[in-house]
Chains A and B, each alone.
Chain A
Amino acid sequence: MKSRDTHWGWIVGAVLILIWSAFPIVWILSLSFKQPGEVIGGNPQFLPKNWTWSNYDYVFSIPLFTHALVNSIGISLIATTVGVVFATLVAYAIARLAFPGKGLILGFALAIAMFPVASLVGPLFDLWRNIGLYDTWLGLIIPYISFALPLALWTLSAFFREIPWEMEQAAQVDGATNWQAFRKVIVPLAAPGVFTAAILTFFFCWNDFVFGISLTSTDNARPVPAALAFFTGRSQFEQPATYQAAAAVIVTIPVIILVLLFQRRIVAGLTSGAVKG
C-alpha cells in the first residue's frame, strides 16, 4: 500500500515537471500562430482560431529582427569560443602548474559571478563611447566573455580534477614539452569538459539582455533579446504580441536543440561546480 502511494506520488510529480517545463513553450508557440487581430479583442482562446505563418513571414522581413538574429549568433559564437579558450588556459594552469595567485584568480572569478551587472553598464556605456566600442560586436563580446568566464572556469576546473594527469607526466618524461604534453595528451581528455563549458557559455551569451539593451543603439550590434523589446505592431492598432511570439520561438529553437542533444553534459556542468564530485 505504502509503496503504491509513493509510486503514484512519483507519477504525479513527474507529470507536474513535464507540464511545468512545456506549458509556457506551448503557449508562446500557440501565440506565434495566431493572427494579430486575435489578440486585441480580449478573451482569446488558448489555441489559435485560424493558424497562420504570417507572423514568421513578417519577423523575417524586418531588419530589426533579421539583423538582431545575425548579431546574436555571431556575437554569441565568438564570445563563446574566445571565452572557453581563455577559461581552458586558466583552468589548466590552476590544475597543473605551481604559480602564485591561484586563489586570487578563483576568488575574483567567484566575485564576478555574483556581480550586479547593472552597476557596471553606466560606466561601461561611457567607456565604450569614448573608445568607439559602443554599438559594436566587440563591445558586447568583451563583457560576455568576462561574465561567462566564472561558470566556464568552475566547470573546467571540476572536469580537470578528474583527468589522470600522470599521463601528461609520462609524456613529459618521454621528452615532450609542457605545451606538447598539454596539446597532445590533455586536450583530447579535456575535450568533453571544454564542450560542456562551451554550451553553458553559449546559453549565457544567448540569454543576455542587460548589456544588449544598454550598450547598443542600432541594428549594428543589437542582439535578439534587446530587439524583442523594440517590437511594435505593423500599425498603431496592432499589438506586437504575435510577432514577438514568433521571434521568441525562433530564438528558442537553438536552446531546445542543445538541451535535447546534450542534456547529460549540461546537468553535469551545472552541478559540477556547485557540489564536490
Chain B
Amino acid sequence: MTTTLERPPKAPTTKVKVELSDRGRAERKLGLLLSTPAVVVMLVVTAYPLLNALYLSLFEYRLTNPEGKTFVGLRNYQVVLTDRLFWTDVANTFIITVITVGVELVIGFGFAMVMHKAIFARKTLRTSILLPYGIVTVVSAIAWKYAFDLQSGFVNQWFGLGDFAWFSHRWSSLAVIIFSEIWKTTPFISLLLLAGLAQVPGDLDEAASVDGATWWQRFYKVTIPNMKGAIMVAVLFRTLDAWRIFDNIYIMTAGAQQTESLSFLTYKQTITRTAIGLGNAVGVLLFLSVVLIAAIFIKGFKVDLSQVRGGK
C-alpha cells in the first residue's frame, strides 16, 4: 500500500476503487445467488406453512363443513388452553423431555469418559455407539415395543414381572417410551460431550491432582467448567429434540393410555383432521413453546450459539 501512496496523484486510484467495488458487487451477487436455492427451499417448507397455520388457527373450520368456515379470533386458543387433554399432553411432553435429557446427560457423560480414556478398542467403541444414533427411530421403537410386549417380549420373563401389561397403564407406557428414547439418543449427547472433554486442558487436571484434589473435585471444579459450552449446546439440542417426540409414541401406544405428546396431538388434530382451526392452534402453541425453550436457553443460560453456527 505504501507504494501506492508514494505514487503521483495522477495514478488512477479511483479506477482501482471502482474495480474493487465492481468485484465487491460481483461477489455480493454471487454470494446471494449461491444462497438462494437453500433459502428458498427452507422458506417454502417453513415460513409459508407456519403463516398458514397461524391464519387457519383463527378460524372455526372443519373439513366436514367447509362452508361453515368463520373467523373466530383467538377462540381456538382459548378452547385449547382450557382443555384438559392439552395440559395432559403438555405434562407428558415435559416429563419425557426432563427425564430423557437428565438421564442421557448422566449416562452420556459416563460413556464419554469411557471413550475419552479408551486404552484400546477406541474405534470399536465409537463405531458401536454410532449404531443407536444411526438406527431409524421407528425401528428402535419396534424393537423395544416387542421386548416389553406381553405376547412377544422377554422383559417380563427375565425380570419376573409375570403378566404385567406395560402398555395398559399410562406411567409404564411412558416409562417404555422414555427408555427407548434414551437408548436411541444417548450416543449423540455422549459424542458431543466427548468432543467437549477433548478440550479440557489436561495439565489443569493434572495440577489439581498434584494439589491433592479428589476425583470428584477435579470433575466438578476442572472438567465441568471447562466444557460448559459443549454441555449447554448438547442439552439445548437434545431438549428441543425430545420436546417434539413423535415416532416412538406413534409406534408404541398411538397415544393410548394418555401418552400423547404435543407433536402427536398436533398431528392427530391436523392430519386426522376433525378440526383444522383447532389443530393449527395446537401447532402454533407447539411452535411458541419451542421458541420459549430456545429463548430460555439462549438468554437465560447464555448458550453461545455462535459456536454451533460454525462462525468464529
Contacts and interface: CB of A to CB of B under 8 A. Distances in A.
Interface of A: 6-7, 10, 13-14, 16-18, 20-22, 24-25, 27-28, 31, 39-46, 86-87, 89-90, 92-94, 97-103, 105-110, 112-127, 142-143, 145-147, 149, 153-154, 157-158, 161, 178, 203, 206-207, 209-210, 213-214, 224-225, 228-229, 239, 241, 244-245, 248, 251-252, 255-256, 258-260, 263-264, 266-267, 270-276
Contact of B271 (A149, A206, A214, A275): A214
A213 B186 CA distance: 25
B163 A42 contact: yes
Interface stretch (B1-9, B77-85, B188-196): B188-196
A39 B283 contact: no
B30 interface: yes
B259 interface: no
Given A14-B118, A127-B48, A271-B194, A116 B31 contact: no
Interface of B is mostly: helix
A97 B31 CA distance: 6
Contacts of B149: 241
B263 A118 contact: yes
Contacts of B130: 259, 263, 266-267
Interface in B138-164: 138-140, 142-144, 146-147, 149-154, 156-157, 163
B222 interface: no
11 contacts: A18-B125, A21-B187, A120-B46, A122-B283, A142-B45, A153-B310, A154-B308, A157-B310, A225-B136, A255-B131, A270-B133
B227 to A, nearest CB: 9
Given A24-B140, A119-B53, A31 B146 contact: yes
Given A24-B183, A99-B32, A127-B52, A17 B41 contact: no
Interface stretch (B11-19, B67-75, B109-117, B168-176): B109-117
A116 B287 CA distance: 6
Given A100-B28, A209-B138, A260-B127, A118 B251 contact: no
A53 to B, nearest CB: 19
A105 B286 contact: no
B210 interface: no
- Which 3 A-B residue pairings sit nearest by Cβ, starting from the closest? A122-B270, A99-B31, A157-B310
A161 B35 contact: no
Contacts of A25: 131, 135, 143
Contact of A274 (B126, B138, B234): B234
B45 A147 contact: yes
Given A122-B49, A274-B237, 18 more contacts: A18-B124, A20-B183, A28-B139, A90-B38, A99-B31, A106-B311, A110-B305, A116-B286, A117-B244, A118-B244, A119-B287, A209-B137, A214-B271, A245-B143, A252-B136, A259-B130, A266-B130, A272-B310
Contacts, number: 339
Most buried by B among A109, A122, A251: A122
Most buried by A among B118, B123, B271: B271
A259 B283 CA distance: 35
B290 A115 contact: yes
A255 B308 contact: no
B243 A116 contact: yes
A21 B139 CA distance: 14
B49 A118 contact: no
B42 interface: yes
A134 to B, nearest CB: 11
A207 B136 contact: yes
A44 B48 contact: no
B146 A110 contact: no
Contacts of B208: none
A241 to B, nearest CB: 5
Contacts of B41: 86, 142, 145-146, 149
Contact of B129 (A21, A92, A102, A112): A21
B76 interface: no
